[in-house]
Amino acid sequence: MTSMRTARLPLLASLLALAACSPPPAPPPAPDVGWAHYGSDAGGTRFSPAAQITPANVRGLKVAWTWSTGEMAAKGEAMERASFEATPILAGGRLYLCSPFNLVAALDPGTGRPLWRFDPKVDPHVNYPNDYVCRGVTYWRDPQAPANAPCAERIFTATNDRRLFALDAASGRPCPGFGAGGVVDVGAGVRLARPGAMQITSAPVVARGVVVVGSSIDDNQRIDEVRGTVRAYDLRTGAPRWSFDPLAAADPGVKAGAANVWAPMSVDEARGLTFLPTSSPSPDFWGGARLGSEGQANSVVALDAETGRPAWSFATIHHDVWDYDVPAQPTLADVAWGGRATPAVIQPTKQGLIFTLARDDGRPVIPVEERPVPQGAAPGERLSPTQPFPLAPRPLTPIRVTADDAYGLTPWDRGACRRLIAGARNEGIYTPPSTQGTILHPFTGGGVNWGGLAFDPGRQVAFVNTSSLLHRVTLIPAERVAAERAANPGVEISAQAGAPYGMRREVLLSPLGLPCNKPPWGRLHAVDMRTGEVLWEVPLGTTRDLAPGSQLLLGTVGVPGFGGPMATGSGLVFIGAAVDNYLRAFDGRTGKELWKGRLPAGGQATPMTYVWKGRQYVVIAAGGHSKSDTKRGDTLVAFALPTADGG
């Protein structure tokens, strides 16, 4: 006789099978949440309280909509020199973004339907330092303007060819009262060695009645380079209000240019401060013409937003001859180091270090100590005997590599890498450039680059991705630079005109094309800012799109990347960045990869998220990156959980 329990088993099995095949229930509507600034907020935390997408349901994410800039068809071969690094913003009920060629568009946040487009018609044939890049745009609502008045809401965008536009946020038309018909020439009066020697790549910032712009300037070309002046303009009229030259405070006799601000800036409106990450003076790898104080180069600088006068500055490196710019947006957050909350600036660096500074005066919140570093510079050079290191967290990337650390799949290619490392000068981080050739580890791409970090204020955790490759930098006597260029086509060799040495810079790769240092070559880290402890670190990305099929042999080795993370209120961390065509979601508590979404091109951009009409979206630019030669495209991709009707 069949028991009742036995009789129910087929029915139970059927119900379980049906449940397994059924889609998860649609999440309930959530309160709307915006993303009003490039870094989510003016302080660049890259955190959103949005929590509809959770670790439990993130695997259900699907493409909700896509939008194309149209530039793959319109720009042709110029797309090979383009990097789609934009992070959109959601403000005033519209999604805004820019393309690598500075096309600005407003989209419907729920469908991706274009509302307007503005094309500043940037010449696609100019050779710029960073190729064609636009990381973001800026929104401002004029509190003095009546609702719905033209240009009461404005989008500020700065172009590769050094123009600053104010656009009506509702229509995309230039604001006639700003500058000359809606545009200001940021490069006016600047004498460049060549037309593309200076560009603007990062979004402007708005503070205390002004809009502030930085610039990107040629690397390694000459001592007498253009200065990296930061400029501020009246928000309504475009009239110049102030300018700040990071080298203005340098010692008399110091001869250099650059020290520019190419990475994103941050704003503390309540304190009236704008925070700048400044770069190295020119040229990068020989500083004999700039001995002494270099002003506020290689520093986090807090400026009075109304006057442009420095309130304080903190140097992350002394006398930089390694191209270790301050590369990322300073993140403004209250940090509970040692159990005491302090308004702070968290600054990641190319060296894989994180400095945590008091926002009011720049003093280290987490102590910093000066440590001896290698000496023995090239003739005419004088190095700093020490460099600053924060006590916590520890360096996030290795800062020393030996020949015994050489990597290879076979004894043959590992042996080749071993010889390359052994043949160069190599005494750890801050080994000076040399005619022998010097190992730079981290390489000049980081550590951390312009993607910066994301900070979860409730959990007090910073999430940051790093790259780990080796550069060999070789100083070339000036009289031999031309011959070296002729003999080595395709290799980066720069004159550093006016210096006794040019430079050669190359990533150390094995004969099989793999990095000579051991993987992971890219990682995602979580740091507890209360203690400085690294909670976890995991490889980020695979070689699938670099060498199809190789991931079967190498696995998830982690690959270098450009772009940064974004964190949410549910404890998720989203990141593209890696040089493969994916957007990934990680559990912020454990570092476990929970989901990845395939992209139509390289996702070397920082994602953002928002909740619109009760539905949370995660959006990333998928267009590839010229410097890492990932697959090009022109698509903005929005992911969301399915709705009740399956949409």
Catalytic residues: 323
The dihedrals phi and psi of 540, each to the nearest 5 degrees, come to: -120, 110
Contact 636, 97 (CB under 8 A): yes
The candidate with the shortest Cα–Cα distance to 609, out of 90, 63, 114, is 90
* CA 350 – CA 446 distance, rounded (Å): 4
Q: Say if strands 386-390 and 132-133 run parallel, antiparallel, or are unpaired.
A: unpaired
The dihedrals phi and psi of 546, each to the nearest 5 degrees, come to: -85, -45
* CA 468 – CA 515 distance, rounded (Å): 9
Contacts for 630 with CB less than 8 Å, ≥ 6 apart: 545, 579, 580, 581, 601, 602, 604, 624
Q: Please name the amino acid found at residue 122.
A: V
Opening angle at CA 521, ends 518 and 524, nearest 5: 130
In DSSP terms, 471 is beta-bridged to 440, 507
Residue with tokens 């395939």: 598
Structure tokens at 41: 């907020």
In DSSP terms, 479 is beta-bridged to none
* CA 466 – CA 519 distance, rounded (Å): 12
> Residue 96, class by beta-carbon neighbours within 10 Å (0-12 exposed, 13-18 middle, 19+ buried)?
buried
DSSP H helical segments within 516-615, as ranges?
Answer: 550-554
The candidate with the shortest Cα–Cα distance to 322, out of 371, 381, 262, is 381
Question: Running DSSP on this structure, what letter comes out for residue 323?
Answer: -
Contacts for 644 with CB less than 8 Å, ≥ 6 apart: 26
The candidate with the shortest Cα–Cα distance to 599, out of 576, 616, 582, is 582
The dihedrals phi and psi of 231, each to the nearest 5 degrees, come to: -125, 145
The candidate with the shortest Cα–Cα distance to 210, out of 256, 153, 269, is 269
The candidate with the shortest Cα–Cα distance to 257, out of 280, 225, 284, 283, is 225
Order of strands across the sheet that contains 331-335: 331-335, 342-348, 354-358
Contact 42, 305 (CB under 8 A): no
